């Protein structure tokens, strides 16, 4: 087991580097460029919310998994804006080599499964891959067109993309997205697209999660992570480490919980696990989160609002097998990042090993005891060396 879980964590920690890959697109408030990790999270959310637009044979869980993986190769190959003059054959070769290296970090069975899923997305021939590609084409368009102050050259990229570029295919494959984009550009189509526009307020509001900073820093120690990229990373954690769940779980439900679990932080902010909080402050925070859940999920059509809110409530309660495991995984990822970056929030909040055991270890053990056993062995030398037992 040790060799297998070591390989899985090697992959998960290497994936952390995707946060350092900047894209051409700005986040919705136009304050900075988005990175490929938070983009991947947002695309996964698009897949969940826009599932009603998929063909009947599409499996949304596979689409979400494709989108979690699709940009990982940029760790080695970089991101290449569609408007740049690029040798696309050379890019394709670099991405194939990156896929071989990155998925090769995993145990053979998982590596082969994920590599095949990435290849399926690239080939865009299956119903799942086609829908994933449609989302990958339309999300940057809406992020630009709904932006607070989109750059003129970015608007020109959108126009070129819709008129003759790769997004031109949306006219037939996802007409609601295509014609709504034209409406936003001022080229009114007069088409009925309310089924889409009823869902975009939630997806646009969700972009705010990219601005919520957490106490945990990235593995390289360069900056604090944000809650959107954190959600992407723990979705990968839950997927890869699902075999260690203490009870039988439905991995698709776990992934969806982790996709949605921090959405309330857009309004309520992040609460560091090692930050001291009085019972009164904790109660106030919980009330804020409930209000945030009411507002944010209330932006969706009623059926989806109820479905997503129920999933979020289940995660918060942490009594079902799926939620117990999801909660465990939510606690694991920051621990490994702290170890990578030399202590991170452990140093900032003066944390002892006993406190990590009580605040983190107990919850992880409840959902994935083998995972905590491995992580505990990894972090205990750091606490010994730094005299924080």
Neighbours of 184 (CB within 10 A): 16
**Region 199-221 average pLDDT:** 95
Q: With H, G, I as helix, E, B as strand and everything else as coil, classify residue 385.
A: helix
Helix (H, G, I), strand (E, B) or coil at 26: strand
Nearest CA-CA partner of 35 in 228, 178, 195: 228
The band of 241, judged by pLDDT with boundaries at 50, 70 and 90, is very high
pLDDT tens for residues 10-64?
999 999 999 999 999 999 999 999 999 999 999 999 999 999 999 999 999 999 9
What mean pLDDT is reported for the chain? 95
**Residues carrying CATH 1.10.3210.10, the chain:** 2-206, 251-385
Q: What was the pLDDT predicted at 75?
A: 98
Q: Is the model's pLDDT at 260 over the cut of 90?
A: yes
Question: Do residues 93 and 76 lie in contact, with contact meaning Cβ atoms separated by under 8 Å?
Answer: no
How wide is the angle at C-alpha 73 spanned by C-alphas 70 and 75, nearest 5°?
125
Distance CA 313, CA 320 (A): 11
Buried b (16+ CB within 10 A) or exposed e, 365-387: bbbbebbbbbbbeebeeebeeee
- Token look-up 């601005």 returns 211
CB atoms closer than 10 angstroms to residue 265: 25
Residue 187 per-residue DSSP state:
-
Give the integer Cα–Cα distance in Å for 160 and 166.
9
Please, which residues bridge with residue 22 across strands?
Answer: 35
- What burial letters (b/e) apply to 48-78, b meaning 16+ CB within 10 Å? bbbeebbeeebebbbbbbbbbbbbbbbbbbe
Q: How far apart (Å, rounded) are the C-alpha atoms in residues 72 and 37?
A: 8
d(CA 175, CA 182): 11
pLDDT of residue 276: 65
- Tell me what pLDDT residue 80 has: 86
Distances (CA, A) of 132 to 76, 120, 276, 298: 22, 10, 42, 25
pLDDT digits (tens, 9 = 90+) for 61-76: 999 999 999 999 999 9
Q: How many CA within 13 A on the CB side of residue 61?
A: 10
Q: Average pLDDT for residues 110-133, to the nearest whole number?
A: 98
pLDDT for position 364: 96
Segment (H or E) for 226: strand 224-226
8 Å CB contact between 19 and 35: yes
Phi, psi (5° rounding) for residue 223? -170, 170
**CA dist list (Å): 49 to 120, 126, 203:** 22, 20, 8
Residues 6+ apart with CB under 8 A from 340: 13, 16, 219, 220, 221
Per DSSP (E only), the strands in 18-64 are 22-26, 33-35
**Taking the mean position of all CA atoms in its chain, how far away is CA 256?**
10
Give per-residue pLDDT as tens, 356-388.
999 999 999 999 999 999 999 999 999 999 989
Predicted pLDDT of residue 1: 66
CATH code of the domain made up of 2-206: 1.10.3210.10
Residues 324 and 203: beta-carbon distance below 8 Å? no
Give the CATH number of domain 251-385: 1.10.3210.10
């Amino acid at each position: 087991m040790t060799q297998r879980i070591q390989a899985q964590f090697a992959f998960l920690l290497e994936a952390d580097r995707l946060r350092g890959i900047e894209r051409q697109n700005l986040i919705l408030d136009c304050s900075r460029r988005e990175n490929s990790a938070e983009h991947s999270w947002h695309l996964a959310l698009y897949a969940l919310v826009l599932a009603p637009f998929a063909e009947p044979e599409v499996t949304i869980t596979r689409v979400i998994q494709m989108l979690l993986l699709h940009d990982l190769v940029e760790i080695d190959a970089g991101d290449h804006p569609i408007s740049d003059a690029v040798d696309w054959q050379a890019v394709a070769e670099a991405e194939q080599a990156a896929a071989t290296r990155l998925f090769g970090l995993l145990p053979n069975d998982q590596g082969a499964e994920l590599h095949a899923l990435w290849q399926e997305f690239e080939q865009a021939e299956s119903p799942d891959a086609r829908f994933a590609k449609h989302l990958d084409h339309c999300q940057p368009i809406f992020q630009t067109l709904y932006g607070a102050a989109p750059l003129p050259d970015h608007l020109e990229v959108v126009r070129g993309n819709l008129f003759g570029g790769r997004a031109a295919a949306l006219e037939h494959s996802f007409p609601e997205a295509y014609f709504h984009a034209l409406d936003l550009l001022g080229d009114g189509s007069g088409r009925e697209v309310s089924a889409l526009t009823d869902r975009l307020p939630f997806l646009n509001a969700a972009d705010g999660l990219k601005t919520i900073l957490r106490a945990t820093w990235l593995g390289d120690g360069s900056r604090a992570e944000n809650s959107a990229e954190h959600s992407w990373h723990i979705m990968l954690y839950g997927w890869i480490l699902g075999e260690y769940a203490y009870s039988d779980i439905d991995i698709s439900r776990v992934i969806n919980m982790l996709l949605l679990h921090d959405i309330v932080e857009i309004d309520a902010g992040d609460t560091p696990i090692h930050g001291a909080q009085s019972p009164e402050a904790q109660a106030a925070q919980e009330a804020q989160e409930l209000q945030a859940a009411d507002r944010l999920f209330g932006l969706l059509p009623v059926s989806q609002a109820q479905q997503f809110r129920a999933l979020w409530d289940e995660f918060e309660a942490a009594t079902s097998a799926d939620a117990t495991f999801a909660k465990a995984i939510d606690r694991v990822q920051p621990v490994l990042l702290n170890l990578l970056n030399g202590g991170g929030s452990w140093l900032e909040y003066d944390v002892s090993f006993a406190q990590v055991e009580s605040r983190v270890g107990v919850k992880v053990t409840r959902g994935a005891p083998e995972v905590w056993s491995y992580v505990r062995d990894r972090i205990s030398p750091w606490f010994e060396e730094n005299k924080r037992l």
